[in-house]
């Protein structure tokens, strides 16, 4: 069975033995590619060493996975919300029981510091528990009466599962982003085919094994592995009813084009170039803490990175001095180094991409104000010290484009009007943070910043009850919350004579 196979793989990895992950898991069966060359390396981002291999699915495997999900849909969509909630709750319990091994795998692959890896597990548990609660309450699934002007008629609305969902997840938060999609899809009674990133698939395999162990019926959750070709086969399959994609804006455009052919339902969670605004009345120490966390958590590999930092002119010098001290104190190191605060970039290719963008920005006139430093233990792996750019031009690539690395830019402003205008001067619109002691000003920023989520005087807290998604090229639709559930449902109305 897939569960035992995946658990054995995890044990071998943690014991230091390399592994080969199957190309697909379909209806509870692990499938291997016949051609051993159809695979890619899985690296430890903190050391650069090859720790395993991920086989890639064939077009025939993708087709088989979608058909398995389609066949399982008939029975699954007729399960009760309570039954689905019980399974989701069991998944959360099993993830909690496996917390140590899941966090260890996150560190092995992504090189995340221990506190980040453990937080990923906590977020996964919280998401499954939240949607379990929605199922147990059941009110979100009940038919609702709709008032119409004829008392002889009964009108109702009901939300029904959209069908087979393709879930395409990224490498920056493996398992977490999967939970954001998988939990509401299962709660809505959809069946799914998941395509993880080939760079970070080990934890995704472990999560899939947990889903099977929890008792989710075979065929309800299937996994196909590989690169962009596998994703393309999946998104264009005629039996896929819904696509949920998290990744770059460029890739999101391609997914949207593919979905248009059959009018597939679509959720896109894409890029960001978000602002953190430090007003004149801000607590500078708090602002610096939020700036460091907002720009450099997960080595800046976050769509929500608040890498455009706007600071009021009257506190600019004080902020920059404290920010420099804080950035230089960030311990960039492998996860085994005590107090490691920032890990590596995910791959050599990503490291080269970020370095090239920094060089491009500097060549165009951007000035590096200061940078952090690497711990001696970072001799290997894909580490990059945090970099801070001061007063870049409005058209500089480091200010306008999503870098997806540990690069932050700081600009000064003189009024709230100016700060709001600068913050909103972007194609993106995912999140924003405001640091202020003025409640009236905070209300204005919350109302006028063009972002799907605005934090005020808080770190980037993400709860499953609060929707996630943005405006502009940051995507379409919302994940998490009740809206996340609705994205896997179709709305149906009925009208008839009262009985």
What tens digit of pLDDT does each residue of 106-123 get?
Answer: 999 999 999 999 999 999
Banded pLDDT at 33 (limits 50, 70, 90): confident
In this prediction, residues 198-227 reach a mean pLDDT of: 97
Asked whether the beta carbons of 443 and 422 are under 8 A apart, the reply is no
Question: What Å distances lie between residue 446 and 244, 449, 469, CA to CA?
Answer: 28, 6, 16
The CATH H-level (homologous superfamily) assignment of domain 2-270 is Aldehyde Dehydrogenase; Chain A, domain 1 (3.40.605.10)
Confidence of residue 37 (pLDDT cuts 50, 70, 90): low
**Torsion 202-203-204-207 (CA) sign:** positive
Buried b (16+ CB within 10 A) or exposed e, 427-453: ebbbbbbbbbeeeebbebbeebbbbbb
Q: Would you place residue 294 in the very low, low, confident or very high pLDDT band (cuts 50, 70, 90)?
A: very high
SS3 at position 494: strand
Contact 458, 130 (CB under 8 A): no
Q: Tell me the two tokens of residue 313.
A: 């002119």
Residue 449 in contact with residue 276, Cβ under 8 Å? no
Report the distance separating Cα 311 and Cα 277, nearest Å: 6
Tell me the CATH number for domain 275-464.
3.40.309.10
Provide the percentage of residues in the chain whose pLDDT is more than 90: 95
- Domain layout of the chain by residue ranges: 2-270, 275-464
* 15 has pLDDT over 60: no
Q: What is the dihedral of CA 471, 304, 398, 198, to 10 degrees?
A: -100
Catalytic residue among 116, 213, 269, 280: 269
| Residue among 418, 363, 415 at smallest CA distance from 393 | 363
Residue 321: half-sphere exposure toward Cβ, Cα within 13 Å: 5
Strand, coil or helix: what is 379? helix
Residue 269: active-site member: yes
Chain segment 222-243, per-residue pLDDT in tens: 999 999 999 999 999 999 999 9
Mean pLDDT of 385-393: 98
Percent of the chain residues topping a pLDDT of 70: 96
pLDDT exceeds cutoff 50 at 87: yes
- Ordered DSSP codes for 409-460: EEEEESSHHHHHHHHH-SS--SEEEEE-S-HHHHHHHHHHS--SEEEESS--
pLDDT over 60 (residue 211): yes
State the distance between the two ends of the chain, measured CA to CA, in whole angstroms: 50
The pTM of the whole model exceeds 0.85: yes
pLDDT band at 377 (very low <50, low <70, confident <90, very high): very high
């Amino acid at each position: 069975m897939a569960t035992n196979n995946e658990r054995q793989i995890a044990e071998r990895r943690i014991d230091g033995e390399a592994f080969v992950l199957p190309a697909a898991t379909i209806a509870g069966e692990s499938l291997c590619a016949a051609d051993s060359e159809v695979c890619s390396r899985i690296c430890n981002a903190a050391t650069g060493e090859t720790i395993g291999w991920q086989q890639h699915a064939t077009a025939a495997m993708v087709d088989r996975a979608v058909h398995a999900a389609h066949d399982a849909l008939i029975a699954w969509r007729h399960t009760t919300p309570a039954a689905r909630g019980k399974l989701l709750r069991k998944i959360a319990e099993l993830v909690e029981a496996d917390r140590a091994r899941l966090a260890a795998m996150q560190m092995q692959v992504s090189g995340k510091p221990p506190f980040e890896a453990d937080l990923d597990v906590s977020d996964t548990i919280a998401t499954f528990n939240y949607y379990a609660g929605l199922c147990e309450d059941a009110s979100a699934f009940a038919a609702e009466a709709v008032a119409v002007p004829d008392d002889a008629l009964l009108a109702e609305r009901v939300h029904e599962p959209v069908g087979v969902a393709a879930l395409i997840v990224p490498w920056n938060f493996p398992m977490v982003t999967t939970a954001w999609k998988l939990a509401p899809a299962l709660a809505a009674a959809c069946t799914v085919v998941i395509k993880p990133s080939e760079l970070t698939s080990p934890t995704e395999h472990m999560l899939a094994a947990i889903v099977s162990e929890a008792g989710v019926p075979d065929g309800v959750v299937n996994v196909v592995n590989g690169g962009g070709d596998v994703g393309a086969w999946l998104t264009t399959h005629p039996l896929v009813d819904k696509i949920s994609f998290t990744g770059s804006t460029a890739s999101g455009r391609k997914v949207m084009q593919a979905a248009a052919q059959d009018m597939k339902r679509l959720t896109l969670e894409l890029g960001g170039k978000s602002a953190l605004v430090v007003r004149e009345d801000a607590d500078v120490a708090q602002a610096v803490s939020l700036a460091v966390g907002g720009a450099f958590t997960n080595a800046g590999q976050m769509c929500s990175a608040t890498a455009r930092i706007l600071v009021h002119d009257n506190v600019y010098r004080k902020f920059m001095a404290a920010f420099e001290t804080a950035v230089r104190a960030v311990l960039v190191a492998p996860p085994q180094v005590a107090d490691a605060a920032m890990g590596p970039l995910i791959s050599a290719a990503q490291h080269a991409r970020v370095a090239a963008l920094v060089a491009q920005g500097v060549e165009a006139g951007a000035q590096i104000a200061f940078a952090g430093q690497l711990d001696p233990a970072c001799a290997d792996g894909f580490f990059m010290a945090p970099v801070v750019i001061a007063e870049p031009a409005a058209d500089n690539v480091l200010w306008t484009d999503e870098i997806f690395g540990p690069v932050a830019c700081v600009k000064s402003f003189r009024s709230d009007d100016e700060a709001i205008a600068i913050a909103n001067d972007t194609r993106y619109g995912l999140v924003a943070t405001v640091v202020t002691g003025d409640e009236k000003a905070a209300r204005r920023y919350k109302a006028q910043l063009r972002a799907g989520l605005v934090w005020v005087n808080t770190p980037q807290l993400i709860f499953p009850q609060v929707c996630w998604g943005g405006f502009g090229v940051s995507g379409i639709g919302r994940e998490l919350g009740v809206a996340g559930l609705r994205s896997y449902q179709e709305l149906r109305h009925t009208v008839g004579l009262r009985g």
